[in-house]
A and B are shown apart, each in its own frame.
Chain A
Amino acid sequence: MHEMSITKSMLEIIKDEMDKSKVSQLRSVRIKVGELTAVEPDALRFCFEASTKNTPLEGASLEIEEVPLKGKCRRCGNKFRIEAFVSRCPECGGADIEKISGTELDIVSIEAE
């Protein structure tokens, strides 16, 4: 389960940001998890809770926005939702698809005081 290592990286970034902004109480964290990432939101929530327990970050909520996989056809320019991970344009049948969303694994913002 790599959600633990991902949580660790996430907490490092959060602590850096909190130090920079001179805040000590974390309230919430907003992150984006794309559909094509190999990250399971529930497992991530579990790891986040476990890793913050008995630390100054305990009790902060983790808000996960799950981002659907979308593509843009390089042949006809059509933008579409990629269903069941099948990389083919429903308009022209083209297979040259640029993924325009769904690969995110980002921290968007934190709320702290």
Chain B
Amino acid sequence: MHDISVEQKILSKNDELAGENRELLTSKKIFSINMVSSPGSGKTSIIEKTLPYLKERIKIAVIEGDLQTDLDAQRVAKYGIPVKQITTGKACHLDAHNIHHVLPWVMEQDGIGLLIIENVGNMVCPAEYDLGEDMMITVMSTTEGDDKPLKYPAIFSSADVLLLNKTDLAPYTDFNIERAKENALRINPYLKIFETSCRTGAGIKEWSDFLAQTALNGHGKI
């Protein structure tokens, strides 16, 4: 009988590939973000609302992650932005490998400065998989519970930015925006929080300005 010491991260292969992705993107001066949330919190709508603010200032490419269909890619393509759909089949998250395959396509596009990756809608699994992004954005909406950060701590703990979306609906729900922020900051005091509504446009400019500035200022964690 052999007792073999392994001492290795289970996701070491993913982490290595994520490192390669990060290095390649950084060498081409492309800032990248990974957007995660539960299904239906408004990630695609936020991208749609953000693009018009950003596209004059920085060249953008979008990667859409979904289990099936290219419906989200079709929505984004209407804004004249290069977009690539990844369908994961049954996998509930994107991994560094998925992104690695698409990066040659990103490099073919001319002068991209910002890569937006919309992950598969899921609050649990994407937390474990580094894609090689510079900044992770978690979205939660007012039609969910304001205790979500306490229930899904991993995804709030890894995030750099929290977008509290659908603020226009808050009066019709029991969602308490202040309590949601408090809960999120208890888990992760470094979170930068923006309140947004894709229907009224509230907060979209502030978030877009922040994203453009961070992307143009270069890389590294905020």
Q: Which residues of A contact B (CB under 8 A)?
A: 1-2, 5-6, 9-10, 12-14, 17-18, 21, 23, 27, 31, 36-39, 84-88, 95-97, 105-113
The answer, yes or no, to whether B212 is at the interface (CB within 8 Å) is: no
Nearest-neighbor residue (CB-CB) of A39 within chain B: B128
A38 vs B92: C-alpha distance when bound (angstroms): 13
A95 to B14, CA, bound (A): 30
List which B76-114 residues lie within 8 A (CB) of chain A.
Answer: 91-93, 95
* 16 pairs of residues in contact across A and B, judged by CB atoms under 8 Å: A1-B125, A5-B95, A6-B11, A9-B11, A12-B13, A37-B127, A38-B124, A38-B128, A87-B157, A87-B186, A105-B11, A106-B8, A108-B5, A109-B3, A110-B4, A113-B1
Q: Is there an interface contact between A85 and B93, defined as CB atoms closer than 8 Å?
A: no
Complex CA–CA separation, A31 to B12 (angstroms): 14
State the main secondary structure of chain A at its contact with B: mixed
A residues near B4, Cβ cutoff 8 Å: 17-18, 21, 23, 109-112
Query: A84 near B150 (CB under 8 angstroms)?
Result: yes
Closest 3 CB pairs of A and B: A2-B125, A95-B189, A85-B153
